[in-house]
Structure 1
Amino acid sequence: MLDVIHPPLGDLGLVLSLVTPYAGGVAPVVMASWLGRKVHRARRARAALADRVTVELIPTSTFDPSEAEVARWARQLGRVHHAADGVPARGSAVRLRYTAETGKMRCYLEGARTAQAVLTMPGFAEVEVRAQEDRTGIQPVRFPAPEGPA
């Protein structure tokens, strides 16, 4: 009856019997490549999250942005993901962090190091952007004391 209504379905059993041995061999290869890609993306995201840059945003006392300035800055922050080329979305996210130190509120912008140029661009006319440099890797220069008579 299937041959009468749907002639191609009559050969379905034959096609499945021919394809099944190959599908059994291809499935592990496909699963292994999928798993390898997931692991690779997770490692890249983890590496990007470990290597981030922080900039401090310091507004003037008369800072009062207009709606257009806020919208322009939001578009600028949206470009950070595109500037962080090769970094998965999870690792290229921008974090806006507020802290209060000694009664003073501070605003920090944190993102992927590969997008540092976009992060340090001033978004508002009355806001200074200062890069927080990691100075732990800088070693002081020491000159050996001269030997002999002075």
Structure 2
Amino acid sequence: MAIGRFHVDPQAYQRPSPSNNLAQWGVTGEVADPESTPADVARLARDPEAEVRRRAAEDTRLSPADAVRLLNDPAAYVRGTAIRGLRLPARVLAGLLHDRDTACAAVTDPGIPVPVPHRILAAAAVAKRPPDCRYQPAELR
């Protein structure tokens, strides 16, 4: 069965999950095709299916603008994949590193120079804990 440029094997189809890839559940197409163009990947980044958008977020041909747009995706695992990708501009990545909700995922982006997480950890180690924090090191009491 063909759906657009995707080919679905009904025998192999399973409900997609963030840990599956398209080939595992019977779909092959532009994201899996090494000959796809960046325009194909950009179109798939706007696909209604979250798993297809996640795979587009992983693709090295995705433009930085589309990667930034995927940061607002309704599916959390698509947002996480976009955060951990290599295509975010440094300014956007810096903002993600300073946001509590996204810092854990953003710090895993392999595009971050090694000294940056070291500076973040050093700053966090000397930061004063809020008074309602249950654990406070002895030097801060």
Provide the TM-score with structure 2 as the length reference. Answer: 0.21
Tell which has more relative contact order, 1 or 2 (C-alpha 8 A, sep 6+): 1
Larger radius of gyration: 1
Q: Which structure has more strand as a fraction of its residues?
A: 1
Provide the TM-score with structure 1 as the length reference. Answer: 0.20
